[in-house]
């Protein structure tokens, strides 16, 4: 016998499948396996990337969170063009919002290996996308069909970060609009936020919820009192943010890409304001329920959402360039 909830999950999954969320985006200019046969007779680009991610993950499983966030912040400003990797006095990575971004050295190492094997072939933007996919799978998440064929951009400006990368207190309504402006709908948005099933947030991004929320002298009423207590002990009132907290408050799955984030939200244990509001906004609450209920639903729809994220405003064909070194645009000759 199917429980009513299971019937609902099945029906909604089917509906979503037919409305195109289940399949990869047919309009994407990218393709699966773009590098096949392009890196000499004996080398396989995706195998090289996968090997590097696997070796790194074995000693540092936090690489999954680092790469997921790097991929998101890359794609939401100038499209997925590796602009986030560029060094420079006013490049994107210097903006306050981006200070905590990690994984740059890892991407450099993968790029170095690829350049030694087939120089000038693989874009830095595709390295981020492929490495993210592999790291998600290693963390117990789905092995989705990541598309490739991106080229690297040559512009990276810190001043554009605030209008493109959402702050933790953005409302769900505003966030839906922002994602829509990138061609990512509210269903994909809700599954992409499921990336907060791994990784940490600096106390500075949620402390305002713990002591004097919105001038009330009280914590955010949508946060469970237990969580308020435990986050207060990690993030003391007058401290200077030496600490961070797990975004997924289920202790047993902090390194696992699973649907426990949504179950935590239903228990009012979302760390960021945007996380918790997904359970109360009318356009996302039902999606949270389904994702929390069904691992299969989460895996399928997180996968298609990641593929759609990876296609945002990409450069392809003769646009942009293939950088030699991910931190700098190629020298002109
Ligand atoms: C409205 C949308 C979003 C907001 C407001 C948001 C906000 C944040 C904030 C404030 C942090 C903490 C950063 C720090 O402490 O330095 C964070 C971490 C993180 N975010 Fe998001 N995020 C959003 C969407 C996403 C998406 C779409 C993804 C990926 C698909 C993502 C993946 C991550 C990951 C994995 C971390 C942990 C990073 C780490 O451990 O280094 N986020 N996010
Ligand atoms: C929520 O969904 C309704 C119905 O589909 C739509 O009219 C409305 O614009 C959506 N709101 C937001 C903030 O996306
Ligand atoms: C914050 O307070 C203002 C004024 O009292 C109120 O209009 C607003 O809805 C509150 N915001 C939240 C997120 O509670
Ligand atoms: C949190 O961010 C602050 C800056 O706001 C920084 O000084 C601190 O080192 C960060 N803490 C952690 C644990 O990353
Ligand atoms: C916490 O994570 C474990 C392991 O993934 C899972 O079995 C359990 O159901 C989760 N609990 C909640 C409340 O999400
Ligand atoms: C950036 O790339 C565009 C073409 O993609 C080119 O027209 C422009 O000259 C480049 N700018 C710099 C500073 O390299």
Determine the Cα–Cα distance for residues 132 and 70; give it in Å rounded to an integer.
9
Q: Determine if residue 92 is labeled as part of a ligand binding site.
A: yes
Q: What is the mean pLDDT of each run of 10 residues along the chain (333 residues)?
A: 46 44 61 96 96 98 98 98 98 96 98 97 98 98 98 97 97 98 98 98 96 97 98 91 94 97 98 98 98 98 98 97 98 82
Other C-beta atoms lying within 10 Å of the C-beta of residue 236: 15
Q: What is the pLDDT of residue 307?
A: 98
19 CA → ligand 3 middle, Å: 36
173 within ligand 2 shell (Cβ under 6 A): yes
Query: Is 186 among the catalytic positions?
Result: no
Ligand 6 nearest-atom number relative to CA 319 = 5
Strands 200-202 and 147-148 come out as unpaired
Which residue blocks in the chain are alpha helix, DSSP H?
Answer: 4-18, 45-59, 63-75, 104-117, 124-138, 161-164, 172-181, 186-192, 225-234, 260-266, 273-277, 285-293, 295-309
Q: What is the pLDDT of residue 22?
A: 41
Instruction: Report how far ligand 3's centroid is from the alpha carbon of 215 (Å).
Output: 9
Strands 31-32 and 244-246: what pairing? unpaired
Q: Whose CA is nearest to atom 8 of ligand 5?
A: 260
Measured in degrees and rounded to the nearest 5, phi and psi for residue 296 equal -65, -45
Q: Quote the pLDDT of residue 27.
A: 65
Looking at residue 240, its pLDDT comes to: 82
Could you tell me the distance, in angstroms and rounded to a whole number, from the CA of residue 243 to the centre of ligand 4?
Answer: 7
pTM of the model: 0.92
Q: What is the pLDDT, as a whole number, of residue 41?
A: 87
Cβ of 287 less than 6 Å from ligand 2:
no
Amino acid 11: pLDDT: 46
Which token pair is 275? 């996380």
Tell me 319's DSSP state.
S
Q: How far apart are CA 294 and CA 259, in angstroms?
A: 8
Question: Of the residues 86, 125, 154, which should be mutated to test ligand 6's pocket, given the most ligand atoms within 8 Å of the CB?
Answer: 154
> 231: burial class by Cβ within 10 Å (0-12, 13-18, 19+)?
buried
Q: What is the pLDDT of residue 216?
A: 97
pLDDT, residue 8, reads 47
Catalytic residue among 21, 56, 71, 73: 73
Q: Which two tokens stand for residue 206?
A: 């949620």
Q: ∠324-96-152 over CA atoms, to 5°?
A: 20
């Amino acid at each position: 016998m199917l429980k009513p909830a299971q019937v609902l999950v099945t029906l909604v999954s089917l509906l979503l499948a037919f409305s195109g969320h289940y399949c990869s985006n047919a309009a994407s200019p990218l393709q699966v396996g773009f590098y096949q046969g392009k890196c000499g007779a004996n080398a396989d680009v995706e195998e090289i990337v996968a090997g590097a991610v696997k070796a790194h993950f074995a000693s540092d499983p936090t690489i999954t969170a680092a790469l997921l966030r790097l991929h998101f912040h890359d794609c939401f400003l100038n499209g997925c063009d590796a602009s986030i990797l560029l060094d420079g006095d006013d490049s994107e990575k210097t903006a306050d919002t981006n200070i905590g971004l990690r994984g740059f050295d890892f991407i450099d190492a993968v790029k170095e290996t690829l350049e030694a094997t087939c120089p000038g072939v693989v874009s830095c933007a595709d390295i981020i996308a492929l490495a993210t996919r592999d790291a998600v799978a290693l963390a117990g998440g789905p092995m989705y069909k990541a598309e490739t064929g991106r080229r690297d951009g040559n512009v990276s400006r810190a001043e554009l970060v605030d209008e493109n990368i959402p702050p933790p207190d953005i409302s769900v309504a505003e966030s839906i609009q922002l994602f829509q402006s990138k061609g990512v709908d509210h269903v994909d948005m809700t599954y992409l936020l499921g990336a907060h099933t791994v990784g940490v947030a600096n106390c500075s991004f949620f402390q305002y919820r713990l002591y004097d929320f919105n001038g009330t002298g009280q914590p955010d009423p949508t946060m469970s009192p237990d969580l308020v207590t435990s986050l207060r002990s990690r993030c003391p009132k007058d401290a200077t943010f030496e600490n961070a907290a797990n975004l997924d408050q289920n202790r047993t799955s902090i390194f696992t890409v699973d649907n426990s984030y949504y179950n935590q939200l239903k228990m009012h244990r979302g760390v960021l304001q945007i996380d918790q509001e997904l359970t109360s906004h009318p356009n996302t609450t039902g999606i949270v329920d389904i994702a929390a209920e069904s691992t299969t639903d989460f895996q399928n729809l997180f996968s298609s959402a990641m593929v759609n994220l990876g296609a945002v405003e990409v450069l392809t064909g003769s646009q942009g360039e293939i950088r030699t070194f991910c931190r700098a645009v190629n020298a002109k000759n």
